[in-house]
Structure 1
């Protein structure tokens, strides 16, 4: 049993959020549970709020995000999100092996078969998985969102490529995670209702042991194991920094050199112009609007 999750905001203030993990594919619910438990164990961060425009640039093949759904039935921890938004258009969901799959909607270019084939092969696919986590403050609903493309799926790393993560497989307490879809199927079956994967209003009732004292929402109980869980080295996101300082550039180069032996990333291709033209412009920041209006006042 654990307390409220560890979050980036609890230690970094308003720092830019990065993916929970990068350059990895989630093959099964077991892989998802390992990522969840790594978040519980403070090895990986959780997304604490909706991604802004800058943070959405980290969405690419191999990016994995873990976030907590806001619920009216549980004590707030300060890191809940009402719903996941990534600024992209998605088709209807498909269910397979307790995962939901969404394909990115792209503009139609039927007149150019070669361009259409290229766009389909590089189209993002979103894979989601949800669980209820047993905590001392009640049951909380966590979500995992993984992105990949058909072209790069076989080139992404797996849990087995990271010994620190693979070692967690045998340390996850039984009953800590309950698949949200399975729980909802049972609830609807008891009421004689066919299952359709819809957004639930709150977590199910779980049997929780009574703690001796009320824990802090941002604290976390270390795993009940004699083994000390190591921290991931190098950091799981060898992504480019948004600053131009020499220190950040040096750190990025070192991280890329460390992971280049294992990550087989294909040559980056520019997105087709017809696709870029179809993407709506992001809304202008209110401060930018005020600045533009100040110039209008000086025109005679």
Structure 2
């Protein structure tokens, strides 16, 4: 199966830049192919971080085959939450705002505590209960563009498993 570039939790853009620096220095592998269906469950896991070069390399866009929420800008990149099986994010004008804004009884203190990990993606009606969170950022350096994709589970981060 595909080997991730690194493993851990990237709390912010600086952590993601650190991983790219590790790839550029040869400490971590650069990913040169997409995940294939047969290896998805083994590879797309909490803590796995992938770095691919998208400007001249074989991967133009990272795809993992999972269903994700709409993106939210967070710390210079984007964050997504895994959707429940069969869930579909409503299109604009079809209740999307209500679905995205649903707080499901979370207190203001809990929302503030979770915001560094999930941004504004609080709605639990559509999200997988124990699903992954995907953080993505593109970094341009040396005339090339590197795409960093980090996966994590909220419990893994909160309980120090990553």
Q: When the two structures are superposed, what TM-score results if normalisation uses the length of structure 2? A: 0.68
Matches within 5 A, 1:142-221: 142-154=146-158, 155-157=160-162
User: Is 2:132 aligned against 1:124?
Assistant: yes
Q: Contact between 2:48 and 2:150, CA under 8 Å: does it hold in 1?
A: yes
Distance 2:35 2:48 in 1: 13
SS at structure 2 position matched to 1:55:
helix
Distance 1:133 1:61 in 2: 27
Aligned with 1:39 (options 7, 17, 23)? 23
Distance 2:21 2:131 in 1: 30
Q: Give the match for residue 52 of structure 2.
A: 67
Q: Contact between 1:131 and 1:142, CA under 8 Å: does it hold in 2?
A: yes
- Unmatched 5+ residue regions in structure 1? 1-15, 71-75, 110-115, 158-300
Number of residues of Structure 1 aligned to a counterpart in Structure 2: 123
SS at structure 1 position matched to 2:6:
coil
Distance 2:3 2:86 in 1: 32
RMSD: 2.2
Q: Contact between 1:121 and 1:150, CA under 8 Å: does it hold in 2?
A: no
Instruction: Give, in angstroms, the shift of residue 121 of structure 1.
Output: 3.8
Structure with the larger strand share: 2
Instruction: Give, in angstroms, the shift of residue 107 of structure 1.
Output: 3.5
Distance 2:3 2:85 in 1: 28
Q: Contact between 2:83 and 2:128, CA under 8 Å: does it hold in 1?
A: no
Q: Give the match for residue 28 of structure 1.
A: 12
For residues 82-133 of structure 1, the C-alpha deviation after alignment (integer angstroms, 9 at most, x for no partner) is 1111011111000121120111111379xxxxxx89x744111111011101
Matches within 5 A, 1:82-121: 82-107=60-85, 120-121=128-129
Q: Contact between 1:121 and 1:149, CA under 8 Å: does it hold in 2?
A: no
Q: Contact between 1:25 and 1:156, CA under 8 Å: does it hold in 2?
A: no
- Unmatched 5+ residue regions in structure 2? 88-123
Q: Contact between 1:121 and 1:151, CA under 8 Å: does it hold in 2?
A: no
User: Is 2:43 aligned against 1:58?
Assistant: yes
Q: Give the match for residue 49 of structure 1.
A: 33
Matches within 5 A, 1:268-279: none
SS at structure 1 position matched to 2:10:
coil
Higher relative contact order (CA 8 A, sep 6+): 2
